[in-house]
Amino acid sequence: MHWMNYIAPLLEGAWVTVQLTIISTIGGAFFSFLFGIGRLSPNRTARYLSVGFIEVFRGTSLLVQLFWLYFALPLIGEAIGINLRLPPVAAGALALSLNIGAYGAEVVRGALQAVPREQFEVAKSLDFTPRQTLWRISLPQAIPEMMPSFGNLAVQNLKDTALVSLISLGDLAFKAEQIRNFTQDSTTIYSILLLMYFGMALVLTAIMKLLERSVGRWRAGRA
């Protein structure tokens, strides 16, 4: 059957999509914590920077961010004499991480604020420094709260990787376009494509559920 010929190149693209999803989900988690914690920082500069970051990346379209990083940033770099020419993979992963990180930062902030005030008081009475309190007391309690939202964001991120095909990254959607360019067999190709993304999303959801259970083990005994 003709569709069998599509599978090999599509799998090649799917592998790029998987890598990109993993990298940018991890990167997104990093930015989530960086700016989520930054937003609650007593340091005013850190707070304003974080708010600015969150508003900009949540307030603009991912595709615009992607094009900007890919086409505009190198030119600006040239104008000021730095090489800001990110390879497509890096530009794609960075745009995805920043975008998902901005949404994640709000999740982190919400979960941190949900840690009961009393926990901070005990930590103080035991003489923990604010930094120790953050790392040892509040974050570990907040992380399980974040996990369901992070699960949704990870799937969102997987879907968003399709947009990097528009900056010539050989991901799943890009490969599909190439094949269609050649064969004009739209129905078959797009049907396979949708099913492949759906399958990947289901796997990702399952992984995030496992992760959720493992970080929240101490909550199991809760009444």
Partner 1 sequence: MLFGIEWNTSNDWLFAASILPILLRGLLVTIQATVVGFLVAAVLGLVLAALKAARSPLIAWPARALTEFLRDTPLLVQLFFLYYVLPEYGILLPAFLTGALALGVQYSAYMSEVYRAGLESVARGQTEAARALDLSPLRTFGVIILPQAVPRIIPALGNYLVSIMKDVPVLSVVSVLEMLKVAQIIGDRSFYYVIPLSMVGALYLVLTLIASAGVRYLDTRLPKRGLPLK
Partner 2 sequence: ASLQQIKQRGSLRIAVANEIPYGYMDLQGKPQGVGPDVARHIATQLGIPKIEWISTTFSALIPGLRARRFDMVAAEMAILPQRCGHVLFSEPNSSYGEGLLVAKGNPKEIHSFEHFARSKDKVAIMAGADQLEMMQALDVPQERMVTISSNSDAISTVATGRAAAYAATSATIHQLVDKDDRVEAAAEFTDPVINGEPVRSWGAFTFNLDSKELQRAVDEELARFKQTDAWRQIMTRHGFSEADADESFNRTREQLCAAH
Partner 3 sequence: MNEQAIIRFERVVKRFGDVTVLDELDFHVDKGEKVTIIGPSGSGKSTVLRILMTLEDIDEGVIHVAGKPLWHEERNGTLVPASEAHLRRMRKEMGMVFQQFNLFPHMTVRRNITEAPVHVLKLSRHEARQRADEYLELVGLSEHADKFPSQLSGGQQQRVAIARALAMRPGIMLFDEPTSALDPELVGEVLTVIQRLAQEHDLTMLLVTHEMQFAKQISDRICFFDKGRVLEDGPPEQLFTEPREARTREFLNAFLNPA
Binding region for partner 3 (CB under 8 A) out of 71-79, 111-119, 168-176, 177-185: 111-119
How many Å apart are CA 128 and CA 124, to the nearest integer?
Answer: 6
Q: Are 105 and 155 in contact (CB under 8 A)?
A: no
Nearer of residues 53 and 70 to partner 2, judged by Cβ: 70
Q: How far is CA 182 from CA 6, 15, 149, 176, 209, in A?
A: 11, 21, 40, 10, 40
Nearer to partner 2, 45 or 184 (CB): 184
Query: For partner 3, which stretch binds (CB under 8 A), given 60-68, 72-80, 127-135, 167-175?
Result: 127-135
- For 56, residues 6+ apart whose C-beta sits below 8 A from its C-beta are 102
If you ran DSSP here, which 8-state letter would residue 219 be given? G
Question: In whole angstroms, how close is the CB of 31 to partner 3 at the nearest point?
Answer: 24
Under the rule (CB under 8 A), what is the footprint of partner 2?
Answer: 5, 9, 12, 70-71, 74-75, 78, 85, 88, 166-168, 170, 177-184, 186
Shortest reach from residue 154's CB to partner 1, in Å: 11
Q: Is 193 exposed, middle or buried (0-12, 13-18, 19+ CB in 10 A)?
A: buried
Of 142 and 172, the one with the shorter C-beta distance to partner 1 is 172
Contact of residue 181 among partner 3, partner 1, partner 2, none (CB under 5-8 Å per partner type): partner 2
Q: Give the integer Cα–Cα distance in Å for 112 and 36.
A: 9
Site for partner 3, rule CB under 8 A: 116, 118-119, 121-122, 124-129, 132, 136-137, 140-141, 218-219, 221-223
